[in-house]
Amino acid sequence: HRDLHSFPTRRSSDLYDDYEGIAKYNAVYGKLEKKASHGLAAMLSYTFAKSTDNEGGNIDNQSTIQNYNDPAADYGLSDVDIQNTFVASPIYQLPFGKERRFKSSSKVVNVLAGGWEASAIISTSSGFPFTVRANQDYSNTNSASPRPDRTCQGSGPKTITEWFNTSCFTTSALAQNLANGTPRFGNSGRNILRQPGVQNWDIGLTKKTAIRESLAAEFKVEFFNAFNHTNFGPPGTVIGSSTAGVISSQSGSPRNIQLAVKIDF
């Protein structure tokens, strides 16, 4: 018989939820709308917003607190904060063909040139904020989000190989404090810089053709990300790594073209 109590046991971690998070959201929203006239309709909207909190919660890929004994020190921009958002959605009926401004005496020309409509959804927004991190926990507290010291603002030069100024962040003093037996947290804050913004143009062309009284055809071509604009992902954020400040990914999809035909009868 083996005495199970003679073997060492490992204590399990205790996990619990708390409701100590603080979050605020403020925004100003404006919209301009043009009702359809002379073949043109459009809507423009703009939002200026600011979202702040002291932690990203327990959702995957959201930022964590550096010092759980002082969550107020991490109060700043939310992980999902988008400062500026602009959206335009125009629709324009081209003025060619039968019953349009530029009609032709030729039935064939009217059929080919008439019935066209162009539409677009144009959107642009600020990038999400991000946190600059240290390559190890110099506080000796098993911090889930160790930070470096911040010596200057750090924004710029905003290139693919150096999105932010990595020389504004250092871990030298932190490493020395740890070696001296006086470990501490870095003074760099949470979500202090922004990744690249997002821009997208979706454009559609539609042609409606009446074949006879009870039969009509509609041809549509849609260009998603019409200009094949690259929206870059976040830069590397770990100071002390070779990828700090380097953007090596992109978000969204390249240009996508979709064709469709619809027959009404």
pLDDT digits (tens, 9 = 90+) for 58-89: 565 577 889 988 989 999 999 999 999 999 99
Tokens of 24: 């605020």
Q: What separation in angstroms does the CA of 45 have from each of 101, 241, 247?
A: 30, 41, 30
Q: Could you give the CA distance from residue 163 to residue 245 in angstroms, rounded to a whole number?
A: 5
Mean pLDDT of 112-140: 95
3-class DSSP state of 140: coil
Residue with tokens 């324009």: 92
Determine which helix (DSSP H) or strand (DSSP E) holds 150, and give its type and residue range. Answer: strand 149-150
Mean pLDDT of 186-200: 96
Q: Could you give the CA distance from residue 219 to residue 122 in angstroms, rounded to a whole number?
A: 22
Q: Could you give the CA distance from residue 142 to residue 187 in angstroms, rounded to a whole number?
A: 17
Is the pLDDT at 141 greater than 60? The verdict is yes
Greater confidence, 188 or 8? 188
3-class DSSP state of 9: coil
Q: What is the pLDDT of residue 252?
A: 84
